[in-house]
Amino acid sequence: MDYEAAQQLSETVKEHAERPRNYGPLKKYNAHHRWTGPCGDTMEYWLQIEAGRVVDLGFITDGCETSIASGSMTGTMAAGRSVEQVMQMDPLEIYEALDGLPDEFQHCILLALTTVQDACEVYLTEQEELKARQTEPLSEEQRLKQRMGQIRHKIAVFSGKGGVGKSTVAVNLASSLALEGYKVGLLDSDIHGPSVPTMLGLEGVPLEMDEDGVLPLEVDGIKVMSLGLMLESQDDAVIWRGPRKLAVIKQFVSEVAWGELDYLIIDSPPGTGDEPLAVCQTLNDLDGAVIVTTPQKVAAVDVRKSISFCRQLNVPVLGVVENMSGYVCPKCGDVTQILAGGAGQRIAEDMQVPFLGAVPIDPQVALAGDSGQSFVRYFADSPTAAILRDLFAPLLRLG
């Protein structure tokens, strides 16, 4: 600026030019903009906005004294105002406040104000986008991930075929964990014949939803959900094939609002086909699997298949349970071996997986299942309950 022009500047302008009030970038800011005007000068502003108000502000310019003065005065006047008020500021206000800025330098004010207002505009747009993202419904995949992230351990109970006591083991494992004080969920993922609700006396109890999803039913400290109960008609499950089945199982599992859990026990569909595969793929980081079998030799083939299935899916086998191994006389309590057995134990040794133990046929186990009571809780004094407790002990200490 030439000497004459400098002479024309008012004291206010000179003061702001020599000692700008808000000079330099801020350490903490959440709005920023840089703008180069037609004159070639660049203005840059940093704003700290809290609760919709500009609480601090800094700027720099590579321009002349009038640019520095205009930037400083604009910043001084914007600080403390709400973002909306800054957006409505008029260049005339700043011009008057500077009191004596030569007319030919008015564009400096315009450049400063436009830069601050643009910083506010960018800030408002980012806030809008953030809000929109937060209210956007999560995808099924994201919801599933979020829900599963709240569950510390997941154990699936498998069997090579139906009727060997898989659901009985799943229910009693869940109940043993709940009795130990853990937060437990039990997912009955058999979409064809849900037996868990019957075994826990929840048959006919309607499912409810809140904004977070389908709420598990609660009994004796266990949160229970049965995918079969989420189906409108049992006939639907029969007609689904491979990929469709996977999609439906995934959708159902992602709908269940478990909240935080220490353990989720999954009563898997029997066998090694599409359905257990869908369950494993959906709950993809299982801690491991418990495989239930019976003592007969013919069951051996199924156990081998189940162990290989787990190995292919990288699911650790936590152990094999040999169920219906011997008969407990209801009168004297003696155990009689009625089936030539030991197959479960032999296969476990053969395939180098842990053998958790053998559970006898005990009429009270069947009775408890039919009457909707978990055996380990309501028949806790019986010798079979003690056997189950010992058998589950390694699973109660996953950490």
Question: Where along the sequence are the contacts to ligand ADP (CB under 6 A)?
Answer: 159, 162-168, 195, 323-324, 359, 361-362, 365-366, 369
Q: 115 or 167: whose CB is closer to ligand ADP?
A: 167
In the complex, least distance from residue 123 CB atom to ligand ADP, rounded to whole angstroms: 58
Q: 148 or 290: whose CB is closer to ligand ADP?
A: 290
CA nearest neighbour of 214 among 151, 150, 147: 147
First to last CA, the chain: 74
Residue 397 tokens read as: 């200490």
Per-residue HEC secondary structure of the chain comes to CCHHHHHHCCHHHHHHHHCCCCECCCCCCCEEEEEECCCCCEEEEEEEEECCEEEEEEEEECCCHHHHHHHHHHHHHHCCCEHHHHHCCCHHHHHHHHCCCCHHHHHHHHHHHHHHHHHHHHHHHHHHHHHHHHHCCCCHHHHHHHHHCCEEEEEEEEECCCCCCHHHHHHHHHHHHHHCCCCEEEEECCCCCCCHHHHCCCCCCCCEEECCEEECEEECCEEEEEHHHHCCCHHHHHHCCHHHHHHHHHHHHHHECCCCEEEEEEECCCCCCHHHHHHHHHCCCCCEEEEEECCCCHHHHHHHHHHHHHHHCCCCEEEEEEEEEEEECCCCCCEECCCCCCHHHHHHHHCCCCEEEEEEECHHHHHHHHCCCCHHHHCCCCHHHHHHHHHHHHHHHCC
In the complex, least distance from residue 295 CB atom to ligand ADP, rounded to whole angstroms: 11
Q: 100 or 193: whose CB is closer to ligand ADP?
A: 193
Which residue matches tokens 């139906």? 162
Q: 169 or 353: whose CB is closer to ligand ADP?
A: 169
Query: Amino acid identity of 226?
Result: S
In the complex, least distance from residue 364 CB atom to ligand ADP, rounded to whole angstroms: 8
Instruction: Compute the distance between CA of residue 392 and CA of residue 153 in angstroms, rounded to an integer.
Output: 15
In the complex, least distance from residue 190 CB atom to ligand ADP, rounded to whole angstroms: 8
Q: 129 or 334: whose CB is closer to ligand ADP?
A: 334
In the complex, least distance from residue 196 CB atom to ligand ADP, rounded to whole angstroms: 9
Q: 34 or 389: whose CB is closer to ligand ADP?
A: 389
In the complex, least distance from residue 390 CB atom to ligand ADP, rounded to whole angstroms: 15
Q: 193 or 259: whose CB is closer to ligand ADP?
A: 193
In the complex, least distance from residue 135 CB atom to ligand ADP, rounded to whole angstroms: 42
In the complex, least distance from residue 139 CB atom to ligand ADP, rounded to whole angstroms: 33
Q: 167 or 374: whose CB is closer to ligand ADP?
A: 167
Q: 118 or 190: whose CB is closer to ligand ADP?
A: 190
In the complex, least distance from residue 163 CB atom to ligand ADP, rounded to whole angstroms: 5
Q: 79 or 196: whose CB is closer to ligand ADP?
A: 196
Beta strand 184-188 with 222-226: parallel, antiparallel or unpaired?
parallel
In the complex, least distance from residue 359 CB atom to ligand ADP, rounded to whole angstroms: 5
